[in-house]
Structure 1
Amino acid sequence: MKYLFTFLIAISSISIVTAQDYTDYIGAGHSEGITVISSSEEVGSEAFKTIDGAGMNSRLFETGRFLSQATMGADLDLINIVKNMDYGVWIDQQITEPVTYLQSEVEDIWEEYLDTLDSRGYEDPQDAFGPAMPELTSAWWHNNMVASDLIRQKVAFALSEMFVISSNSDLGGEAIAMAHYYDKLLEGAFGNYKDILSEVSLHAAMGYYLSHFNNPKAVPEENLHPDENYAREIMQLFSIGLYELNNDGTHQLNNDGNSIPTYDNADIKEMAKIFTGLGPGGINENVWWTDEPYFGLGTFGIDWTVPMAMYEDFHEPGIKIILKNDTIPANQLGLDDIDEAINVLFNHQNVPPFISYRLIQRLVKSNPTPNYVERIANVFIDNGNGVRGDMAAIIKAILLDEEARNGEYMFEQHSSRLREPLVRHMQITKGLEIVEEPGGRYWHNFDYDNSLKQQILFAPTVFNFFLPNHQPVGDIANSGMVSPEFKIHDTSSSINYFNAAYRWTRDWGELINSGRYFYNSDLVNDDGSIGGWDMYGFGETYIDYEAYTDLADTPELLINELDKVLTHGQLSDEVRQSLRDNLPNISWDGYEYGWERERVRTAIYLITVSPDFAVIR
């Protein structure tokens, strides 16, 4: 493995090299001497000039870059289709694609599980616990591998990191609740932002997660007051943020040069009154003691797919004054209070730049310029037809903006983004040729949450896996920039990613696999004993190395082919030269499947652990 160590040494000056067992974030005291930058300090690959038009097909690489922003991953077939189209036309086609829903897939997987239990003699399959996280993550992976509504899936993923609920809570056993909530984000991806805000506010999963489900009005004599959790987060995280903004996302300043808060504790208390009285909107089949939902019914008995209902007797009466001067009148229905409050938030001047900035971060770049933010904020304000909050128009504007599409911006210091672990893995899986598992379904159970600090709908808090303004100590912070994803890129997760990528590129290591374990009393073990843990739904997906072995004899061709789908023409001279130097060393037949296959595996591995793959421009 001399060639491997040579390569890792070669990229040490442009990558993040970690070998300590600390879990502190890079730059937090255990990374002295480590320089974190986006990639090579050179502006591009001198030998091939893939983006500026010389050498390889610049349109193909630009399309790969476009699809890396617009989708969860793209293979060469899709890149070739889209490169011959106007991007705006393709986006319009995507907007009309039918929604690939998550809940129905979770239910299908769960039914398969119960059928498996029944077929293997399990005494009472209906007593099985679930559906839960295994079904949720498997359904999400399957949908993202087969869905045709590619942009919608990417935007819903982005929204799930903005309107956070998490199965890293008591919702972990409620896959239907989580999936139905995610489906609302899928619908909202091309809907209206106000509708997203309303749907989220009334969803029982959010109500349970941020504790405005069964949240009663004040009873002062019992020292009982409305829960303020959701009231705070709907302002801080979902709409207006902490400080008054200009339309370009910069802070407004008072006469002393300080940022101006958007709300205070009094506003939180008033907003909390509005979100009282919400309770279960429906009951499920577990409820035998009542035919109707009622305020105070616990989550065991509720139908998660029905919006929370308003129970007027538990709703705070009287006038509510929010954001200092907007009055919600007394003596109206509780749902009318909520609708008016959401309308006030939706029409606040902060919302267009606040939301535009976050969507740009999730799709294109971590540090959009104020001009970029303002251009998108203007589309948020008016889609051209007098409509505010049109998500389809907003997403299209983000993806087609000059800062997203003009290659000249790529070489500016602020024009990059660290791909988060889920997105990196999905790009590998969707971008490369693969051998699909038997059974017609993709599964996944990789231990992301512990190893790479991320799993779908599994954020540690309502603040997501990372904050939009996170600045890792060092060069990024010193440059006045942010890099949210570096929050979960520490000495532990970075090494674990290297190990995961190595496993994905070995013959014994699959890209995707899964299966749910259950105790099978009829299982015959190897030693002849009866009873033990069995698995259903087992399937594996591997990289199809044979699709690339014809290129292995000429490393340059192999490198170029992988550059198309993994790094979109951004493979640096340093990484290219290291590959050129080391791949020819793999040239003998001592490998189990031949040296050609070993060259392919090694090239894929070394590119996927390179900074050129991790950081997209």
Structure 2
Amino acid sequence: MEKSGSFRGVVAALGMMLAVSATAQVEPSRRPDRMFHQGFERVDAGPFNDADAARFLAQASFGATTADIQRLRQLGYAGWLAEQQSLPMTRELEYLDWVASTGEPVYQNARVEAWWLGALGGPDPAVPTRLHGDQLRQRVAFALSEIFVISKLSGAVSGQVRSMSQYYDMLAQHAFGNYRDLLEAVTLHPAMGHYLSMFKNRKPDLVANIRPDENYAREILQLFSIGLVQLNADGTPQLAGGQPLPTYGQTVVRGFAHVFTGWNWKNCYQGNSWDWEFCEPGPNGAYWLEPMEPVADYHDTQGPETDGSGLAYKQLLDYPGVALPSGRLYAGGTARSDLQAALDNIFHHPNVGPFLARQLIQRLVTSNPTPAYVGRVAAVFANNGSGVRGDLGAVVRAILLDREARYGLYSEPDRFGKVREPLLRLTHLRRALDARAGNGRFFDWNPEFDFAQAPLASPSVFNFFKPDYSPPGELAGQGMVAPELQIHAESQITAQANALGSQVFWGYVGQTFADETNILINSTRDTALAENPAALVERYDLLFLSGQMSPWLRERLVAYLQTITANSVPEYRRQRVHEALYLILNSPEYAVQK
């Protein structure tokens, strides 16, 4: 096959579609069929068909496969969620250690390999008999990595590949745990300590012109927990005079900055004294993998504020029911006790539930959840049914089994859904087509060059896109957001289409010039099916669009594929497979996950 002809299908298909449209007497619908999807069934009773299963997996995994659809149909939603939460966890750090044991240097490319193992699943290159299937945990960890951001683009952590992988493992470890434990693990991880400069943050020293760094204090509040404005229980902003009420001011930021002082490597205690400046991260960087520990001499035990009695304190969050009097943390605590009090102060703030619920819903299900949906999930965060606050496992189940998640496409057809993240389009293709490399590994180029995304590689602590981003135009006019469109610039869209085309047309099993390191899709699996274009389109409608392909698109795809025959292309079946994949993956209908 000539390379110049690998993308000819786009132009040809567009021409065929226009021709069919011009001759059609009745314009077919551009919406999916609503029949049998009115949502009268009990939400957690399904899935009732393969399409429902595929749609659930689009939200709960890195992409549906035929095997996963069958397993979900067998277990049901509740059974599948329970099984997923009990599966052994895929650990990036274990993979990096195996790579190092082969004598290879461990750089960022090895970390990306480890991420692909979790995203695609399947046999472990180190132990082929070990199968990785913890899709839900890994998908939630990816969502958390876009909230609790660290990035290889920061010089503070870019060289610490093992620490970054362990940070991601930490997110996966806590994906179904308690948010309070996750918040503490994030706070004390050396990768986060370096990324947001809490590491070696010192108490004030006016003579040396030293003041506590406020970086982590701001981000833990703004991005990791409560946001900038007071929220109602359903995530809508509280207003006063028509304006949102702020959650905190500079005094609170300063108070938390003074709390987050005195933390250093684990091994800074030497004999009977503390070595603040010159203690090291340990042999082979061992303490990049251990939570930071406090050094008492460098923690501010007082606070920057004083009350009417002259007592010093650190001003934390003040809200109804706050445990600390007026949110004040008075002098006399240690670095560890102050940290515990401060994280508890954040954890019990009423904003945390709706703030986190909305962001996780956006990452997994829909960009514009209704307030009722946010409120239901936030209520589970507040109480998992057993009196426990912050149970993330219960929150994830509530998100995926909510009526809006399962039937929102039909109850809110013009608002429901989310633009697919660029990187997740590639994971979806590779999982659906059983992609593997000949050597069983997952070597890849840096995905951010073609997809503007890669794991732990966002351009800033604000992630690849902001949760409230609303592109100018119709969406903004309707008060809707589309976070992922913030990175869908014209150049990125072109690069993504080309990269997907390269994978489809050139990165497949049987390609003569591929070597054992290339990740190849198994398009051969579907070549027999391609004898019948309608059956092939039906298969890909299920795997990629969860059975939601419109009659308009289906009619045009089938008509175009029928023009690819043995008379025009020797390997016409394979060509039909590749053209179908490429056109579907770049179609507007696929671009929005419904």
Cα pair distance change 1:500/1:3, threshold 3 Å: closer
2:301 to 317, 331, 348: 317
Partners of 2:16 and 2:196 in 1: CA distance: 48
Partners of 1:511 and 1:74 in 2: CA distance: 24
2:89 to 64, 89, 99: 99
2:475 is matched with which residue?
476
2:308 is matched with which residue?
none
Partners of 2:32 and 2:518 in 1: CA distance: 37
2:197 to 211, 222, 226: 211
1:610 is matched with which residue?
587
Please state if 1:248 is matched with 2:238. Answer: no
* 395-404 or 164-173, which deviates more: 164-173
2:115 to 129, 140, 147: 140
Q: Is the Cα–Cα contact under 8 Å of residues 216 and 226 in structure 1 kept in the other structure?
A: yes
Amino acid at match of 1:279: N
* 3-state secondary structure, aligned to 1:585: coil
Partners of 1:590 and 1:7 in 2: CA distance: 15
Deviation track 1:75-126 (CA, whole Å, cap 9, x = no partner) reads: 1111012123320121112111121111111221232243xxxxxxxxxxxx
Amino acid at match of 1:417: K
Q: Is the Cα–Cα contact under 8 Å of residues 409 and 416 in structure 2 kept in the other structure?
A: no
Cα pair distance change 1:320/1:584, threshold 3 Å: same
* 3-state secondary structure, aligned to 2:328: strand
C-alpha displacement at 1:11, in angstroms?
7.8
Q: Is the Cα–Cα contact under 8 Å of residues 43 and 411 in structure 1 kept in the other structure?
A: no
Partners of 2:516 and 2:280 in 1: CA distance: 31
* Number of aligned residue pairs: 538
Partners of 2:110 and 2:338 in 1: CA distance: 37
Please state if 1:221 is matched with 2:196. Answer: no
Please state if 1:296 is matched with 2:277. Answer: yes
1:530 is matched with which residue?
none
Deviation track 1:371-390 (CA, whole Å, cap 9, x = no partner) reads: 00000000000000000000
Partners of 1:299 and 1:495 in 2: CA distance: 46
Please state if 1:43 is matched with 2:31. Answer: yes
Q: Is the Cα–Cα contact under 8 Å of residues 151 and 459 in structure 2 kept in the other structure?
A: yes
- Report % sequence identity: 37
Q: Is the Cα–Cα contact under 8 Å of residues 472 and 482 in structure 1 kept in the other structure?
A: yes
* 219-228 or 156-165, which deviates more: 219-228
C-alpha displacement at 1:143, in angstroms?
2.5
C-alpha displacement at 1:131, in angstroms?
2.4
- Residues 156-171 of structure 1: matches in 2 within 5 Å? 156-170=141-155, 171=157
* 3-state secondary structure, aligned to 1:169: coil
Cα pair distance change 1:589/1:300, threshold 3 Å: farther
Task: Extract unaligned runs of 5+ from structure 2.
Answer: 19-27, 40-46, 122-131, 303-312, 319-325
Partners of 1:461 and 1:203 in 2: CA distance: 18
1:579 is matched with which residue?
557
Q: Is the Cα–Cα contact under 8 Å of residues 508 and 522 in structure 2 kept in the other structure?
A: no
Partners of 2:424 and 2:106 in 1: CA distance: 25
* 3-state secondary structure, aligned to 2:518: strand
Please state if 1:421 is matched with 2:422. Answer: yes
Partners of 1:271 and 1:217 in 2: CA distance: 12
C-alpha displacement at 1:351, in angstroms?
0.4
* 3-state secondary structure, aligned to 2:357: helix
Q: Is the Cα–Cα contact under 8 Å of residues 280 and 294 in structure 1 kept in the other structure?
A: no
Cα pair distance change 1:305/1:294, threshold 3 Å: farther
Partners of 2:280 and 2:14 in 1: CA distance: 51
Q: Is the Cα–Cα contact under 8 Å of residues 508 and 523 in structure 2 kept in the other structure?
A: no
* 97-106 or 583-592, which deviates more: 583-592
Relative to the length of structure 2, the TM-score reads: 0.86
Cα pair distance change 1:207/1:510, threshold 3 Å: farther
Amino acid at match of 1:60: D
C-alpha displacement at 1:296, in angstroms?
2.8
- Residues 387-398 of structure 1: matches in 2 within 5 Å? 387-398=388-399
Amino acid at match of 1:400: L
2:62 to 72, 76, 94: 72
* 3-state secondary structure, aligned to 2:181: helix
C-alpha displacement at 1:67, in angstroms?
0.6
C-alpha displacement at 1:438, in angstroms?
2.5
Q: Is the Cα–Cα contact under 8 Å of residues 99 and 187 in structure 1 kept in the other structure?
A: yes
Q: Is the Cα–Cα contact under 8 Å of residues 383 and 390 in structure 2 kept in the other structure?
A: yes
1:280 is matched with which residue?
265
Cα pair distance change 1:291/1:453, threshold 3 Å: farther
Partners of 1:362 and 1:415 in 2: CA distance: 13
Relative to the length of structure 1, the TM-score reads: 0.82
C-alpha displacement at 1:298, in angstroms?
7.5
Cα pair distance change 1:274/1:41, threshold 3 Å: farther
Cα pair distance change 1:45/1:210, threshold 3 Å: same
Partners of 1:167 and 1:510 in 2: CA distance: 32
2:136 to 136, 144, 151: 151
Deviation track 1:23-48 (CA, whole Å, cap 9, x = no partner) reads: xxxxxxxxxxxxxxxxx9843158xx
Cα pair distance change 1:419/1:369, threshold 3 Å: same
- Residues 114-133 of structure 1: matches in 2 within 5 Å? 114=104, 131-133=106-108
Cα pair distance change 1:548/1:476, threshold 3 Å: same
Amino acid at match of 1:388: R
C-alpha displacement at 1:72, in angstroms?
1.1
Q: Is the Cα–Cα contact under 8 Å of residues 503 and 510 in structure 1 kept in the other structure?
A: no
